[in-house]
């Protein structure tokens, strides 16, 4: 999978490790691996945050297990109304930035809309390019039963895959908007079937988004790989949030499942206002901020 797999007489395949209980305590000075994440099923919760830039990745890296380069960057950084306009080149550029800024966390890059849906061969070409050009460990693919064949195709060819079920932003038009999933029993059963199909196809973990808590809990108990919730259940094996939501930087809207741990938007606005006032009144730059001529002897 990548150069950081632990040395063993014979490395275990994903299918072999999925059903086993492993106690994996990674060294502090090496990057987390797929095996490390698999070993957290039912154990210590997995901490995941999105990251899109090198400076933010450096700040988050000591505190998380997984850094997700999410296609949410389309909305958060580029002001797009949905994630559908995100391109593969955008994901690769931001994936490179996050890998450069991290040493410890496992880095996962989202596969954007249209990059994997056509065929397993298309998905492999694009996923292989992402891993080769970014240095990330894994890709994330939205989809359920319809993507199981593609996920199995990628895993068999050395591409670790994180799945994504429940609310799928790339399906926003089909789903009729960003709404919680699993309210009806038929819908809940479909999500459960999606999760089982993706896990059985070889995904090493599953993001469960915007899914009613009881459904997410049942799903976590039913699948053999770790689940990472966002707007799901505290019973998931881990949690993920968009970093700009956590920091209070993205204010277009605040989903119910978001907890803001800071309000940096206010601090940024205040800093910009203070700078503006200093420039307009010529208080900045001061003598200490400019380069003067050396005094002649």
Catalytic residue among 149, 209, 270, 288: 209
Residue 264: count other Cβ atoms within 10 Å of its Cβ. 15
Cα 163 versus chain centre, distance: 11
Our CA angle for 94, 216, 166, nearest 5°, is 50
Q: Please indicate if the annotation marks 71 as binding a ligand.
A: yes
Active site residue 209: yes
Q: Which two tokens stand for residue 228?
A: 């990472």
Q: Please indicate if the annotation marks 110 as binding a ligand.
A: yes
Tell me the residue length of the chain.
297
β-pairing verdict for 205-209 and 227-230: parallel
CB burial readout 178-191, b (16+ within 10 A) else e: eebbbeeeebbebb
CB burial readout 56-84, b (16+ within 10 A) else e: bbeebbeebbbbbbbbbbbbbeeeeeebb
Q: What is the C-alpha to C-alpha distance for residues 96 and 94, in angstroms, rounded to an integer? A: 5
- Annotation: binding site: 71-72, 110, 140, 142
- Annotation: binding site for 3-methyl-2-oxobutanoate: 71-72, 110, 140
- Annotation: binding site for Mg(2+): 71, 110, 142
Q: Which residues are catalytic?
A: 209
């Amino acid at each position: 999978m990548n150069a950081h797999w632990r040395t063993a007489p014979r490395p275990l395949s994903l299918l072999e490790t999925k059903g086993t209980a492993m106690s994996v305590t990674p060294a502090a000075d090496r990057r987390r691996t797929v095996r490390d994440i698999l070993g957290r099923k039912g154990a210590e919760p997995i901490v995941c945050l999105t990251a899109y830039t090198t400076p933010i990745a450096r700040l988050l890296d000591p505190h998380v297990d997984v850094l997700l380069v999410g296609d949410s960057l389309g909305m958060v950084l580029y002001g797009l109304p949905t994630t559908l306009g995100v391109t593969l080149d955008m994901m690769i550029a931001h994936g490179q930035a996050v890998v450069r800024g991290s040493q410890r966390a496992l880095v996962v890059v989202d596969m954007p809309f249209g990059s994997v849906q056509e065929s397993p061969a298309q998905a492999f070409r694009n996923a292989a390019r992402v891993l080769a050009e970014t240095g990330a460990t894994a890709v994330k693919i939205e989809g359920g039963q319809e993507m199981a064949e593609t996920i199995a195709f990628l895993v068999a060819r050395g591409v670790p895959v994180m799945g994504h079920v429940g609310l799928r932003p790339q399906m926003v038009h089909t789903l009729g908007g960003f709404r919680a999933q699993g309210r009806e029993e038929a819908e809940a059963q479909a999500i459960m079937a999606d999760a089982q199909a993706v896990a059985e196809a070889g995904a090493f973990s599953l993001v469960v988004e915007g899914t009613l808590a009881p459904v997410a809990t049942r799903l976590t108990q039913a699948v053999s790989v770790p689940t990472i919730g966002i707007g799901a259940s505290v019973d998931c094996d881990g949690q993920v949030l968009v970093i700009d939501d956590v920091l209070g930087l993205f204010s277009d809207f605040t989903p119910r499942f978001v907890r803001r741990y800071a309000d940096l938007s206010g601090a940024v606005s205040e800093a910009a206002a203070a700078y503006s006032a200093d420039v307009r009144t010529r208080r900045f730059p001061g003598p200490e901020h400019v380069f003067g001529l050396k005094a002649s002897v």
